[in-house]
Amino acid sequence: MLKKLSVSAAAVGALVASAVAVLSPTAASAVSAPLSNARIATHFDLAEGQTPENVALAPGGSAYVTFAKGRQIAKVSPKGTVRIVATLPAPADGGVHTPALGFPLTAGIVRAHDGILYFLYATGTPDLTGVWRLRPGGEPQRIAALPADGLPNGLALDARTHTLYVADSVRGTIWSVPTRGGTPTDWSTAPELAPAGFLGANGLKVHDGAVWATNLDKGTVLRIPVLGSGRAGHIQTRATGLPGIDDIAFTGHGNQLLAALDGPNEVALVEPDGSRSTVLTAADGLQNPTSIALRGHTVYVLNAGWLTGKDPNLVLAHRAR
């Protein structure tokens, strides 16, 4: 990605993404196949810390969003109504010792079939950093502590094995944690996950019998098979040359995926052979895209405006078959 500018700008450009809703769409411009009809669907308030970091889609068209700097989880309705469902406790020192960033970060989020939300919080303090859970109608609860000198960022859920995978962007580690909570396991510490100056392992997805990860600094997409024993197999580099890559989403066509490129303000379509094409740009409303999700033929691109310093938003686009 970009060089580290400041704790609040490029420092965060690695993480981000969020918000889902449909308000009065604002027309945007040119896109390439297989995406079309891109438009800004909703805007968020940068001054209020509504810097979307990650999103978990829910039934009925709603979505749950983490606001990175707001320390909040929000539910966003299909009409764009935003309701805060949880605010995480602030660290005693204000989060100034949060690795790489210097402020507390609310990061990856996933939703289980029973409606339970799991999400990540990094504060640089041992009492708060880790994996958190929010049951419907309940209060947020930490279920697994993670090292305070790390930065838990990307989160993925394997519903089949009830396993959560956590990408630590500073320690270059993927942790595994049972959904019931407990002691994390350093599932993979492969050197390909390590940072190269700022942040390493970032976005995570479980797909086709493997955990897929991005490395922000190295611009790569990595695949780690999940062996029958549950252990990590040999890591494979599946794509390179993707500067500032944050999150990925699979299109439903094998290993073809969409990648959010934070610094370049682009979304790229990455083929199974690693070749890529640009399908969305700043002209379509992107403001440092940090996360991608798909619901049917709709693509959600979540933008935090970390480096542009304006208009965190949600861009929607139509995906062809």
What is the per-residue pLDDT for 33?
59
Sequence-distant (6+) residues with CB within 8 A of 282 are 265, 266
What is the per-residue pLDDT for 32?
53
Q: Give domain limits for the chain.
A: 10-319
Residue in 197, 96, 105, 99 with CA at minimum distance from that of residue 147? 99
Instruction: Give the confidence band of 93 by pLDDT, cuts at 50, 70, 90.
Output: very high
The CATH classification of domain 10-319, taken from the options 3.40.50.1820, 2.60.40.150, 2.120.10.30, 3.30.450.20: 2.120.10.30
Above 50 in pLDDT, residue 3? no
Residue in 188, 156, 163, 187 with CA at minimum distance from that of residue 291? 156
Q: What is the pTM of this model?
A: 0.90
Sequence-distant (6+) residues with CB within 8 A of 59 are none
Residues 34-73: tens digit of each pLDDT:
899 998 888 888 988 999 999 999 998 888 999 999 999 9
Instruction: Give the confidence band of 78 by pLDDT, cuts at 50, 70, 90.
Output: confident
What is the per-residue pLDDT for 34?
80
Tokens coding 77: 């309705």
